[in-house]
Amino acid sequence: MPLCTACGKENPEGFRYCGFCAAPLTELPPTGEERKVVTVLFCDLAGFTARSDRADPEDVRAVLRPYHAGLRWQIERYGGTVEKFIGWRCCDGRVRGTAGS
Ligand SMILES: [Zn+2]
């Protein structure tokens, strides 16, 4: 039975789309790549751009360091993984499931 690469559920033979989440049922490319369902968190530090435009880099870093640490702590506390911080923005790529699991 074909497995949905988006939600991981089995579908009957001949289905072109997943009966559970409507994702196209295609075979995984033989490149070792894997499709995963993730939750992405975008958050922003209100007023930061205006405040940091004229600030010294050291002062900006002094604000960002505890902000990033706090964000990381909160995200990891709920089982998330921080993919990257982009400036004062944060992306949380939380894996919800993998194909075949
Ligand atoms: Zn599905």
| Model pLDDT for residues 56-82, shown as the tens digit of each residue | 888 888 888 998 899 899 989 988 888
- Mean pLDDT, residues 42-51 taken together: 82
Residue 49 CA to ligand 1 centre (angstroms)? 40
- Mean pLDDT, residues 10-26 taken together: 90
pLDDT over 80 at 29, yes or no: no
Q: So what's the pLDDT on residue 20? A: 93
Please state, in angstroms and rounded to a whole number, the distance separating the CA atoms of residues 89 and 41: 10
- Dihedral angle, C-alpha 84, 75, 41, 46, nearest 10 °: -90
Whether residue 69 contacts residue 8, with contact meaning beta carbons closer than 8 Å, is answered with no
Please state, in angstroms and rounded to a whole number, the distance separating the CA atoms of residues 87 and 34: 28
Give me the residue spans of the domains in the chain.
1-28, 37-96
- Mean pLDDT, residues 29-41 taken together: 76
Element (H, E) at 84: strand 82-86
Residue 10 CA to ligand 1 centre (angstroms)? 8
Q: So what's the pLDDT on residue 3? A: 87
